[in-house]
Amino acid sequence: MKIEVLGSSAGGGLPQFNCNCNNCKGYREGKKTIKRRTQSSITLSEDGINWVLFNASPDILEQIHNSPFLQPQSLRESKIKAIVFIDAQIDHTTGLLSLREGTPFDVYCTKEVNEELNTSYPIFKMLKNWNGGGVKYNQIIPNKEKFNIPIMPNHEFYALSLISNAPPYSLYRDKPRNGDNIGIVIINKKTKKRLFYIPGLGVLEKHIIEEMSKADILLIEGTLWTNDEMIKGKFSSKLGTDMGHVPLNGENGLIKVLDTLSKPRKILIHINNTNPILDESTKEFKELSSHGIEVSYDGMSLEI
């Protein structure tokens, strides 16, 4: 399985258009230890030709431009054959509108996400007037059924519901339902190698940690360094956990849990522009490295 990181940042990317935090400012000033980052998305392939997109970032056109393997070879075609949404967040779904000329797409998501994207933020409904009705919906049932995606016949997929939060526009903000947020396990049927993709995670539940321990590659939420990062920096009045993001550092932070896992390659994704780990010269970045934890970047290629 080929894994390509298209976007490694949280919502807004780096630099974020209206932000002058240390990282955004440093990048604009040409600091070499800070990379340009687009909003979170990955894509997977079995054959290197046909790809499954996980989340359609608002930056999808830039990401395709930066990824020759996703660019058309015939007069009109899309190398993206299916799209999986792990939630209904704007930074994970808006790019679908930019892909409208490539419809219809096979789309996989929970019924809760499907509901949001037909009502509160009705991009599925908006696309019905494009080729073939826009999207062909395939329901993901978390915690119960493995599912298959035809262009990756040698792999099976399994979703786990997560405790996080519903999008800010949602009627279910601060009262999320099972199915509003999922992580996805992808298993190679032949080798049994496993990828666990969790770009949003609010609570480290026991069954999620158990699944993390089985992974060969863990692509996991790295949004904030500390829970009060946004408050201390005067960027928000909310804690990370209020927004559905477990912090990396601290007594109940993700680093402590990752330290207990010996099997997976541990890679952070969905990293907010304010997080000091995005500057490779900082003590926080060096601390991560001392724990054997990597920071993903746009264009990162992995294979299992």
Q: Tokens 């993903």 sit at which residue?
A: 296
User: Could you give all domains of the chain from N- to C-terminal order, each with its CATH number?
Assistant: 2-303 (3.60.15.10)
| Cβ neighbours for 263, distance < 8 A, ≥ 6 positions apart | 213, 214, 215, 216
Task: Give the mean model confidence (pLDDT) for residues 92-110.
Answer: 95
181 with 244: CB under 8 angstroms?
Answer: yes
3-class DSSP assignment, residue 220: strand
Q: What's the predicted TM-score (pTM) here?
A: 0.95
267 with 3: CB under 8 angstroms?
Answer: no
Q: Is 80 exceeded by the pLDDT of residue 199?
A: yes
What's the pLDDT tens digit per position in 142-162?
Answer: 998 899 999 999 999 999 999
What's the pLDDT tens digit per position in 247-285?
Answer: 999 888 999 999 999 999 999 999 999 999 999 999 999
Peptide bond into 168 cis (omega under 30): no
Name the nearest CA neighbour of 55 among 95, 5, 103. Answer: 95
Task: Give the mean model confidence (pLDDT) for residues 58-68.
Answer: 98
Give residue 233's pLDDT band: very low, low, confident or very high (50, 70, 90): confident
* pLDDT for position 234: 86
96, amino acid identity: L
* pLDDT for position 155: 98
